[in-house]
């Protein structure tokens, strides 16, 4: 990276100055490198929530939140959504280039071969009560993969790192579907070699003995269902240094087992401010229920004394329409037409969006629908239960997590992630025996 510029920071208390280099990336704002600040001026920097701090260099994903731009390895999300598939996009994220046909065939084959889970791992599910949240099962089961792949795993070997990344991508739909089957008490379904990634997932979720459900039992292999699911996976595949990816990076920076690192990412994704938002949107729409009740909920979202927020609205980075939300909104029409015509929740969501986008509170704060405002409506039309929505996100985001893990591991300058703090606790004091307190 060239550093033609620098900024000068001056401490007026003592007149000391530090010249801090400005680092330019290929796109987006440059950054001021502050790593020498403590030795030069004796200060750390303070930036809760990492609002203006770059934690790493990365060549994977670029977002321009003001313009509503999202690029995976330089390719606009709109072009990938139209022409690519989830697995091709995962390859792009991992390798940095779109695959040639033979490369994609080999990658798809690698994924297919790794999609089974160890029979012993299946038994882990028996430890969960049937009503355990699927994300709780995901965190536990994905983390426990580290027990199967640890001793002989050499994460300094790029070939072994690649296999770990493939294994994670491949096993995620199998584990996710197993979470669902466990919760409804149905037998687990093995992945099939003749189905693609999204078809396989839907088959593992919904395949039932045809005697029980009749000839239409394979509704889920309808191309509208499988293509839309593939599109949702592609749109959720990566989003640069979001909370879960940063968690994966932080855990990875210690040299931890990759399966444990991805489990940490799943845990971070679960929260309603992040991947849990799609589940929260559906619950919110159900709670609103009817268009005439929308103003009451908009008023609550604007009330500082009310913790209620309009779920699926707002984003730390996008201060414009989330480009993924626009693509999903369009996809909603096709899926609903096929599987759930006249879904009242879709009508309600469109009305809510229209009212919010014309409200001064949302306009002033530049709050727009994010990726998850409409994704839940599609999942609902595909019969995916609400508590599985964040699991769907986790399957897709695994592509990004492993790409970031691989990038971090290949970076020779990588150091353990260890933030500083502004200590506001008690100054040094002496221990008092109980009777003297
Ligand atoms: N509803 C109502 N008000 C909101 C919303 C919302 N959804 N989002 C932000 N605001 C308001 C805040 O109250 C704040 O108002 P103020 O300036 O008067 O105090 C202002 O907008 C800025 O919001 P912050 O919380 O400072 O923004 P931040 O970047 O920290 O949070 C977040 C971003 C967490 C996404 C937030 O917008 C939110 O909670 N949205 C709802 C949850 C959601 O949809 N999350 C999914 C994010 S996308 C993803 O992870 C896939």
pLDDT value of position 2: 43
Confirm or reject: Cβ of 236 under 6 Å from ligand 1.
no
83 is catalytic: no
Among 182, 230, 372, 404, the active-site one is 372
Tell me the CA–centroid distance for residue 369 and ligand 1, in Å.
11
Q: What does the DSSP 8-state code read for residue 188?
A: P
Is residue 26 included in any domain, yes or no?
A: yes
Instruction: Determine whether the shortest distance from the Cβ of 276 to ligand 1 is under 6 A.
Output: no
Report yes or no on 47 lying in a domain. yes
pTM over 0.85: yes
Residue 367 Cβ contacting ligand 1 at under 6 Å: yes
What digits encode the pLDDT tens for the residues 84-104?
999 999 999 999 999 999 999
Q: Which stretches in the chain have pLDDT values below 50?
A: 1-2, 215
- What is the atom index within ligand 1 of the atom nearest the CA of 312? 44
Which atom in ligand 1 lies closest to the alpha carbon of residue 317? 29
Q: Is the CB of 370 under 6 A from ligand 1?
A: yes
Residue 319 CB less than 6 A away from ligand 1 = no
Domain that residue 44 falls in: 6-54
CATH number for 42: 2.20.28.60
- 49 domain-assigned: yes
pLDDT the model gives residue 31 = 97
Considering the domain boundaries, does residue 94 fall inside one?
no
Does a structural domain hold residue 113?
no
Q: What is the DSSP string of 283-328?
A: HHHHHH-SGGGHHHHHHHHH-TTS----TTB--SS-SS--HHHHHH
Over residues 111-156, the pLDDT tens digits come to 999 999 999 998 899 999 989 999 999 999 999 999 998 877 888 8
Closest by CA position to 375, among listed 338, 346, 415:
346
Q: Is residue 34 situated within a structural domain?
A: yes
Is 182 among the residues known to form the active site?
no
Q: What's the domain count of the chain?
A: 1
- Angle between helix axes 372-381 and 323-339 (nearest 10 degrees) is 20
In a domain, 209, yes or no: no
- The residue from 236, 239, 274, 315 that is catalytic is 315
Residue 36 lies in a domain: yes
């Amino acid at each position: 990276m060239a550093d033609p510029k620098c900024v000068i920071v001056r401490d007026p208390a003592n007149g000391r100055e530090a010249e801090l280099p400005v680092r330019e990336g290929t796109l987006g704002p440059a950054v001021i490198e502050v790593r020498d600040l403590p030795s030069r001026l004796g200060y750390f920097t303070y930036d809760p929530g990492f609002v203006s701090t770059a934690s790493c260099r990365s060549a994977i994903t670029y977002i321009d939140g003001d313009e509503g731009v999202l690029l995976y390895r330089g390719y606009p999300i709109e072009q990938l959504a139209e022409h690519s598939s989830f697995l091709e996009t995962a390859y792009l994220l991992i390798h940095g280039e779109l695959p040639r046909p033979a490369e994609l065939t080999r990658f798809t084959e690698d994924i297919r071969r790794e999609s089974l889970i160890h029979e012993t791992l299946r038994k882990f599910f028996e430890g969960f009560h049937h009503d355990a949240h699927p994300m709780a099962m995901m965190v536990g089961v994905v983390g426990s993969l580290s027990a199967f792949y640890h001793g002989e795993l050499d994460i300094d070997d790029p070939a072994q790192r690649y296999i770990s990344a493939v294994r994670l991508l491949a096993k995620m739909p199998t584990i996710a579907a197993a979470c669902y089957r466990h919760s409804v008490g149905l037998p687990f379904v093995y992945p099939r070699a003749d189905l693609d990634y999204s078809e396989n997932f839907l088959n593992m979720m919904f395949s039932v003995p045809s005697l029980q459900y009749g000839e239409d039992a394979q509704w889920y292999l309808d191309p509208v269902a499988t293509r839309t699911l593939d599109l949702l996976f592609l749109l959720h595949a990566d989003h640069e240094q979001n909370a879960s990816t940063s968690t994966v990076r932080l855990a990875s920076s210690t040299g931890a087992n990759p399966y444990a690192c991805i489990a940490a990412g799943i845990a971070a994704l679960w929260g309603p401010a992040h991947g849990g938002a799609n589940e929260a949107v559906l619950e919110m729409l159900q709670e609103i229920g009817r268009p005439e009740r929308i103003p009451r909920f908009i008023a609550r979202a604007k009330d500082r004394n009310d913790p209620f927020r309009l779920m699926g609205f707002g984003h730390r980075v996008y201060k414009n329409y989330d480009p993924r939300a626009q693509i999903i909104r369009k996809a909603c029409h096709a899926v609903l037409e096929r599987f759930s015509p006249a879904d009242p929740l879709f009508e309600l969501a469109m009305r809510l969006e229209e009212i919010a986008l014309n409200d001064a509170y949302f306009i002033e704060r530049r709050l727009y629908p994010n990726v998850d405002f409409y994704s839940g409506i599609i999942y609902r039309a595909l019969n995916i239960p609400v508590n599985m929505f964040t699991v769907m996100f986790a399957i897709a985001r695994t592509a990004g997590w492993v790409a970031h893990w691989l990038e971090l591991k290949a970076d020779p300058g990588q150091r353990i992630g260890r933030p500083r703090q502004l200590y506001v606790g008690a100054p040094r004091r002496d221990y008092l025996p109980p009777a003297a307190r």
